[in-house]
Amino acid sequence: MRAKETTQGVSPQLHKQWTSRDRILTAMRRGMPDRVPVIPDISNMVPARRTGKPFWEIYLYENPALDDAYVEAVNYYGMDGWYIYDNATMIESSGWKKKEIHRDEDELHVRRWIETPLGELEEIICYPRNDPPWSMSEMVKDIAVDFPKLKWVMEQNSLTDIAKNRGKIGDRGVYGVAIETFMGFWVWAREGGSTQAIRDFFEQPERMQEVKEFYLAYVERAAKEILAQRPDEILIAGSSSSLSLSSPRIYREFDLPVIKIISSLCKDAGVICHQHTCGRSRQIVEINYHETDVMVMEPLERPPGGDVNLAEVKKMFGDKFCLKGNVNTFETMLNGTPQDVEREARACIDAAAAGGGFILATGDQCGRDTPDENLFALIEVAKSYGRYSEPRKEN
């Protein structure tokens, strides 16, 4: 007799043995796999720390590459994996050169440049010994002078083989390709970071419309090329779109058109569209619910860093979204005890697992010094307690 299927997705009885990939994909489609997937966000600092090497070995010299360090960490912690290291916005086109211009015990400075028909485009990156790299000087210092160079560089980008690394994670997790929101793109490129990026909207509105038109066309081309390669998901990388930094007005005018393009194309292709926006995101969740085809929202940070009440968001938006989050990264994961982690993780499962469509995860990136015992505690809760229940009926 055929096992019963739930209205949200595949019932656990249909699978004799679940892989992490099966588990995550079923939850992302609002189904109920064998247990709640558990994906603490350790995409950067924790894997780098685990190598025992200066961080510039990983980020600059790829010894090992960050994605390889992450896959090793997935195996070490016994967690469900989430591979997000191929980024269509930030893909490295051929022609870039680099030169080390400063070195001391604590950091390296590297100049990167590329020749374009319009002149040289350059940036300077600082690689600290014990932290991820950051830009000392961004590519676009003057929009009128430097943006045409960046545009030319990005138009040369080939995305025909962007999904070549899917085999690195295999069945241990899902494979995604990222595209930045507009703010993610502009903060990455613009001298002065998020502060200058926001000033640009008010000080140079006509030029920003030109930038927007270019990026929307680039995003559409990139999404179509990515989808032809059938990743598990497209990740909309929207950290810089957080309402902790930006505003609903900017989000609607510049980010939302990007999200609509990507999510609509994903829907047509039958591929998951997954958005990461940390910090204050409650209003973004609601906007996306009504106006986009996004399927997964994360990391749903709770106060004080964010403004999401997980139980309330599940009740209001759980009929459309898979929800991923919302264990506190700093107070709980970094500075709490394993008992604190267990208590908060159980509360998240209680708040959002009913009816399927929930992934236990941290509110955002786990800090470098997050204790291993806290990560193990989070993962163990999902394995021992993370069972789905039927949707709660309203009285």
Q: Is the dihedral of CA 115, 119, 121, 124 positive or negative?
A: positive
User: Cα(341)–Cα(367) distance, rounded to whole angstroms?
Assistant: 15
Q: Which residue has the tokens 């028909």?
A: 117
- Output the pTM of the full model: 0.94
Closest CA to 310 of 347, 256, 259: 347
Q: Is the dihedral of CA 86, 242, 377, 312 positive or negative?
A: negative
How large is the average pLDDT for residues 371-382? 98
Would the pLDDT of 7 be above 50? no
Q: Tell me the pLDDT tens digit for each residue of 184-203.
A: 999 999 999 999 999 999 99
User: Cα(157)–Cα(14) distance, rounded to whole angstroms?
Assistant: 42
Q: What is the pLDDT of residue 278?
A: 95
Q: What is the pLDDT of residue 246?
A: 95
Q: What is the pLDDT of residue 8?
A: 44
Would the pLDDT of 15 be above 80? no
- Of the chain, the percentage scoring pLDDT greater than 90 comes to 93
Instruction: Tell me the pLDDT of the chain averaged across its residues.
Output: 94
What confidence category does residue 94 fall into, taking pLDDT thresholds of 50, 70 and 90? confident
Q: What is the pLDDT of residue 81?
A: 98
What confidence category does residue 92 fall into, taking pLDDT thresholds of 50, 70 and 90? confident
Would the pLDDT of 1 be above 50? no
Q: Tell me the pLDDT tens digit for each residue of 33-53.
A: 999 999 999 999 999 999 999
Would the pLDDT of 377 be above 50? yes
Domain spans, the chain: 12-91+157-385, 93-139
Which stretch of 11-25, 127-141, 320-334, 351-365 has the lowest confidence by average pLDDT?
11-25
How large is the average pLDDT for residues 294-321? 97
Q: Which residue has the tokens 């390889």?
A: 68
Give me 75's structure tokens: 């195996």
Do 27 and 115 form a contact (C-beta atoms < 8 A)? no
Would the pLDDT of 29 be above 70? yes
On the CB side of 26, CA atoms within 13 Å amount to: 27
- Of the chain, the percentage scoring pLDDT greater than 70 comes to 95
User: Cα(204)–Cα(211) distance, rounded to whole angstroms?
Assistant: 11
Q: Is the dihedral of CA 372, 374, 236, 114 positive or negative?
A: negative
Q: What is the pLDDT of residue 393?
A: 58
Would the pLDDT of 320 be above 80? yes
Strand order in the sheet with 134-137: 97-103, 107-116, 119-128, 134-137
Would the pLDDT of 9 be above 60? no
The fold of 12-91+157-385 is TIM Barrel (3.20.20)
Query: CA angle at residue 262 from 258 to 39, to 5 degrees?
Result: 105
Q: Which residue has the tokens 């709640």?
A: 36
Query: Phi then psi for 163, rounded to 5 degrees?
Result: -95, 20
- In sequence order, which residues have a C-beta less than 8 Å from that of residue 179 and are 6 or more positions away? 87, 88, 89, 219, 222, 223, 226, 234, 235, 236, 237, 258, 262
Q: Tell me the pLDDT tens digit for each residue of 221-276.
A: 999 999 999 999 999 999 999 999 999 999 999 999 999 999 999 999 999 999 99
Q: Tell me the pLDDT tens digit for each residue of 153-169.
A: 999 999 999 999 999 99
